[in-house]
């Protein structure tokens, strides 16, 4: 505990240095129903002993406060380290400086520095940031944060090509401590990313992001979210639906995710980062298959 009774937060770069991590991502609830679902999910993952959890933030004043409230609540509950997503686009430097100071004063040591899309908020017009790298530099001024950044195996949608994307990512990782990838479905996507960064002299940890496809409709949603499901996996899921309906689709999607995770661990990935959509069931099944 700290001198004022707050639980000690653990830096994620230190967790990664100690060995493979297991982490889970959540988003702040917007309603009582979502709050109940999230509370149940957080309780369900406690026996899995997560290394840390991360909390998303999509931009705008209301979302910023919800993220702050959830991160600080998790930290003060004391059972797991939390990482706050921070988006720089749509903020002035003064706003971002205050937010980072508030996190530091609350005992939060870990942030995910993101560029983000311009939010649907009048304050976006006052943005003094363009890219996540500017936020990393400010975070280094404000506090002793462990800083993560986003990585896209196929390249960021706004990058002109994969080679330039890797150069931009290498520049971010020169200042940050680790990266977390967008979700993907084939181990070769992660190994290619890590290999291309190594060619640029970057060897900092790149955590693979995992999100199982558990419904046929989820295939299209994944595409909208930035992760194209490979044809071979789509065919497996469609065949599963013919064989056993939605239940078999879900089972096949989880089997595919288990295989991907095991291949990543075999290739010495620094950990596994699960995108939960605030529900613990599928993630728990994958975890138990891998580690028990």
The answer to whether the CB of 267 falls within 8 A of the CB of 251 is: no
Reported as a single tens digit per residue, the pLDDT across 10-50 is 999 999 999 999 999 999 988 889 889 998 999 999 999 99
Q: Among 14, 25, 75, 128, which one carries the catalytic annotation?
A: 25
- Let me know if residue 67 belongs to a domain: yes
The reported pLDDT for the residue numbered 8 is 56
Q: What is the pLDDT of residue 4?
A: 47
Tell me if 204 is assigned to some domain: yes
Residue 252 lies in a domain: no
Confirm whether 292 is a catalytic residue. Answer: no
The CATH number linked to 19 is: 3.20.20.220
Record the tokens describing residue 9, joined without a space.
Answer: 């937060």
Is 76 part of a structural domain of the chain? yes
CA-nearest of 10, 11, 16 to 207 is 16
Q: How many domains does the chain have?
A: 1
227 assigned to some structural domain: no
The 10s digit of each residue's pLDDT in 60-102 is 677 788 899 999 999 988 889 999 999 887 788 898 999 999 9
In residues, how long is the chain? Answer: 292
In this prediction, residue 5 carries a pLDDT of 47
Mean pLDDT value of segment 262-275: 97
Establish if 256 belongs to a structural domain: no
Is 234 inside any structural domain?
no
Residue 71 counted as domain residue: yes
Q: What is the pTM of this model?
A: 0.92
Domain that holds residue 169: 12-214+269-287
Helix (H, G, I), strand (E, B) or coil at 71: helix
Query: From residue 196, how far is each of 155, 173, 177, 290 by CA, in Å?
Result: 12, 13, 18, 28
């Amino acid at each position: 505990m700290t001198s004022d009774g707050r639980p000690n937060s653990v830096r994620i770069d230190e967790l990664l240095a100690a060995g493979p991590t297991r982490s889970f991502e959540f988003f702040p609830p917007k309603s009582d129903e979502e709050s109940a679902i999230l509370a149940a999910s957080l309780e369900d993952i406690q026996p899995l002993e997560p290394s840390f959890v991360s909390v998303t933030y999509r931009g705008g004043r209301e979302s910023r406060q919800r993220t702050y409230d959830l991160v600080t609540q998790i930290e003060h509950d004391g059972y797991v380290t939390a990482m706050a997503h921070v988006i720089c686009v749509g903020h002035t430097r003064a706003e971002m400086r205050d937010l980072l100071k508030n996190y530091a004063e609350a005992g939060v040591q870990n942030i995910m520095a993101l560029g983000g899309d311009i939010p649907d908020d009048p304050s976006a017009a006052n943005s003094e940031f363009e890219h996540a790298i500017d936020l990393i530099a400010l975070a280094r001024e404000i506090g002793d944060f462990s800083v993560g950044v986003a990585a896209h195996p196929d390249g960021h949608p706004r990058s002109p090509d994969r080679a330039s994307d890797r150069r931009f990512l290498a520049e971010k990782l020169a200042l940050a401590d680790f990266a977390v990838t967008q979700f993907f479905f084939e181990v070769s996507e992660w190994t290619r990313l890590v290999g291309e960064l190594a060619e640029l002299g970057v060897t900092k940890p790149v955590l693979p992001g995992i999100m199982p496809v558990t419904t046929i409709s989820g295939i299209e949603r994944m595409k909208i979210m930035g992760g194209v499901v490979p044809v071979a996996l789509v065919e497996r899921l469609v065949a599963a639906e013919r064989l056993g309906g939605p239940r078999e689709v879900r089972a096949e999607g989880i089997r595919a995710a288990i295989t991907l995770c095991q291949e990543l661990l075999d290739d010495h990935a620094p950990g596994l980062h699960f995108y939960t959509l605030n529900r613990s069931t599928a993630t728990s099944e994958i975890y138990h298959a891998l580690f028990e």
